[in-house]
A and B are shown apart, each in its own frame.
Chain A
Amino acid sequence: MSALLEVSDLVVDFPTAADGVFHAVDSVSFTVSAGERVGIVGESGSGKSLTSQALMRLVPEPGTVSSGSVLFEGADVMAFSAKKLQKWRGSQTAMVFQDPMSSLNPLMRIGRQITESLQKHLGLSKAESRTRAIELLQRVGIPDAESRLSDFPGAFSGGMRQRVCIAIATACSPKLIIADEPTTALDVTVQAQVLDLLDHMATELNTGVILISHDLGVISSFCDRILVMYAGRIVEEGTAEQIVGDPQHPYTKALLSSILRLSEPIPRRLKPISGAPPLAGQRASGCSFAPRCALAIDACRTLDPALVPASNASPGQRVACGVAAPAAFELADEVTAA
């Protein structure tokens, strides 16, 4: 598998009230291969959505991508001209957003919202794009597709709208789909259907998928590889089996223990992670998870751990925790000294 997307040292900054900057996404690096599914998991505010928006150069104002590079098939996305960017978005990459209620334009017919991409990116005629839009709606399982083209989004249920969004995202057979909490706004019963659909479409088109969710259950069932984000950084990465089966970072462990498992006796109470993530711009020195971490030692409060290979010697698994992998602190030292 060749690298489809290569993100290195991505930093997204927001100005703070005190004339400073806050790294909402801090030195995030990862790759996505063709056809691979990568999950990004983390709490609200961990920077996972911003990371995905930064990839598409859609970071909302006043945020900016202040450094780092995003290479798509070797081409530098950050250097794209406005025109190139428009060509690339929607045809090579596509996005599925969290809220299908507001992501579709309420005053435009569904058909038009699908055909406009087809006409722009694939150069199809009105009639051709209409035929293709009907096929797309049928493929995402919308009954009576032809007559529904002229409906407005208001006439669809939440799940159906997310199906329409997936139809729009897959319209031009993109190589990468970024799905930002695609099931969060939906009923639990519909969530599984939408994930199945996304899975099906990605397999059919051999599309790389970045799935963003706060729900480790959703992520681990869908993804090949998982990135765990905390306070703007990747704190652990590995395959789904590694992350779920042998988590190294205390935060990942805590996330896992806060999930109900049907294979085990159901506890009377779920185990929450005590405390809250650091507020924007209020990050102390050292590991940002240290204040909530049961295993924290003195070094955790002064040294900011680097992402290093995990000490369980699992290939590809990396962790940013000096307790789990002492090398993380050694590298952190070097960084501070430099």
Chain B
Amino acid sequence: MIWWILRRLGQMLIVLFGVVSLAFLLVYAVPADPASTLAGPNASAATIASIHAQLGLDNPLWQQYFGFIGRLLTGDLGTSYVLRETPVFGRIVAALPTTLMVAVGGILWQIILGVPAGIFAAYRRGSWVDRLITFLSLIGLSAPPFWLGLLLIYYFAFTWGLFPLNGLGSPVFWYLVLPTFTLGAGGGAWYARMTRTNMIETLDSPFVRMARAKGMPERVILWRHSFRHIAIPLLTMIGLDFGYFLGGVVIVETVFGLNGIGRLAFDAISNLDTPMIVGTVLFAAIFIVVVNFIVDLLYSVIDPRVRLNS
């Protein structure tokens, strides 16, 4: 167990190192000059040259790279090219609560919308309810989030005034309903499909037939005997989505005017703001790696057949 954790931590560090290096080199490979982007279209060659010197962009790549990695090891992500004097780390940490709330809310919607519907559809397979759920999930899967978000804003916020238009305020819960729903609707449809498939497979298995032969009520068969079996793939999906959402959900944050990590990353890429790009990528990678680690730990809690040391 302890060895498994140590080995996983080692693997996580290697992955993070790889991700950071790749992000750094990819930005460098973009055929555009951060200094001229920063200086604007009317800047003189001298201005651009001085910005170059200031940001150390004249140094050879390997020097820039090792300088960056060296600072990173001391916990310094550098300062943003665009927002001078602003440490990247501070900016990301400031944007984190918003992204965290949106991510958690999105996951909750996915579970609320998807899991009961999927279980019900599986249990009543072939019925009109099953077909209705399949149809609704098709709509959920096909609706692009930016379109859904704008639609929700137009009707629920603008026309009917039920929810605030955008941004964050108090009570924060109220401001989060529409963006998190927008984020979770597509995933919810996906969860419904996956849950249905997994539940059908479970309900067809011999141990469910055995439970029926034992005279167990259907309610017990669904929850006590079957739910754990669908919880494992569900946990995998939740883990992947959560890591992904924490990396910043650009579209939802943009549509709803939320200043989360997604917006930060988007702006950084538009400005070729290398330290900020690498910083947001690093955070996204950390979230994905950590959540995966937690999910793997949870597998062993749910399923006794999973052994961590193997």
Contact = CB atoms under 8 A, between A and B. Distances in A.
B212 interface: yes
B206 A102 contact: yes
Contacts of B305: 106, 152, 154
Given A105-B225, A107-B228, A154-B304, A91 B215 contact: yes
Give the dominant DSSP class at B's interface. helix
A88 B215 contact: yes
A103 B220 CA distance: 16
Given A102-B207, A152-B304, A94 B225 contact: no
A87 B209 CA distance: 16
Given A116-B220, A117-B215, A58 B209 contact: yes
Contact of A58 (B213, B224, B225, B229): B213
B214 A94 contact: yes
A94 B212 CA distance: 10
A85 B216 CA distance: 10
B43 interface: no
Give the dominant DSSP class at A's interface. mixed
Interface in A284-316: none
A283 interface: no
Contacts of B206: 97, 99, 102-103
A152 B224 CA distance: 15
Contacts, number: 72
Nearest to A95: B213
B263 to A, nearest CB: 42
A120 interface: yes
A232 interface: no
A90 B213 contact: yes
A56 interface: yes
Interface of B: 205-207, 209-217, 220, 224-225, 228-229, 302-305
Contact of B210 (A85, A87, A97): A97
A155 to B, nearest CB: 8
B120 to A, nearest CB: 18
B214 A107 contact: no
B230 to A, nearest CB: 11
20 contacts: A56-B213, A58-B209, A58-B212, A87-B215, A88-B215, A89-B215, A91-B215, A97-B206, A97-B210, A97-B213, A102-B207, A104-B210, A105-B225, A106-B207, A106-B304, A106-B305, A107-B229, A120-B215, A152-B304, A154-B305
Contacts of A85: 215
A168 B303 CA distance: 22
Contacts of A99: 206
Interface in A51-99: 56, 58, 60, 85-91, 94-95, 97, 99
Contacts of A335: none
